[in-house]
Amino acid sequence: MFLGEYQTKFTGKGRVVLPHKFRQELKGNEVILSRGFENCIWGFDLKDFEKEARKQLEISATEERARYMRRYIFASSESVELDAQGRIIIPSALLDFASVKDEVTVIGAGDHFEIWDVKLWEKHMKEVEVLLGRVS
C-alpha cells in the first residue's frame, strides 16, 4: 500500500526519484503513469493498474460515462521503467497536464501514488482542510 508524503526535485528533464517506501511496494520495474484528478499524475504498479483497468472495462461501453472514463484514463496512460537509482521519467504530456515545475510532492493514495506540483499540492490540501472543517 502506498502511504506517506514526500517532496523531491527533478534530477533531470522530467526524471524524479520515487521514495524508497514506494519502490518497495512495486512488484517489478514497470510503473504505469496516467492523468489523475485535480491535476495530479497517478502512478500504479502494473498489476494494480490492470485491476483498475478491469474495473473500468466491466462497465459497458454503451454507457457514455464509461466511455469518457476509459478515454480519460487509457489515452493518457504510459508505461515507464524504474531505473537502478529508483528514478522514472515522466512524459512531457503528463508534466504539462499537472503543471509540474521543479519540485514535486509524491503522495501515497493506497492502491496508487500521486505526483503533484508542490504549490498545487499545498493549495489542494488547504482546500481539503476547509472542506473537512479542520480550518476556517
Q: Quote the CA–CA distance of 77 and 72 in Å, as a whole number.
A: 9
In tens, the pLDDT along 107-125 reads 999 999 999 999 999 999 9
| Residues 21 and 13 sit within 8 Å (Cβ to Cβ) | no
- Extract the C-alpha cell encoding 47: 498489476
Query: Residue 92: which pLDDT band, with cuts at 50, 70 and 90?
Result: very high
Q: At 60, is the pLDDT very low, low, confident or very high (cuts 50, 70, 90)?
A: confident
pLDDT digit string, tens, across residues 19-51: 999 999 999 999 999 999 999 999 999 999 999
Q: Grid coordinates standing for 5?
A: 508524503
Domains, the chain, with CATH or none: 5-131 (3.40.1550.20)
pLDDT at 135: 66
Q: How far apart are CA 132 and CA 117, in angstroms?
A: 22
Rounded to an integer, the average pLDDT of 1-24 is: 93
Of all residues in the chain, the percent with pLDDT exceeding 90 is: 80
- How far apart CA 51 and CA 47 sit, in angstroms, is 6
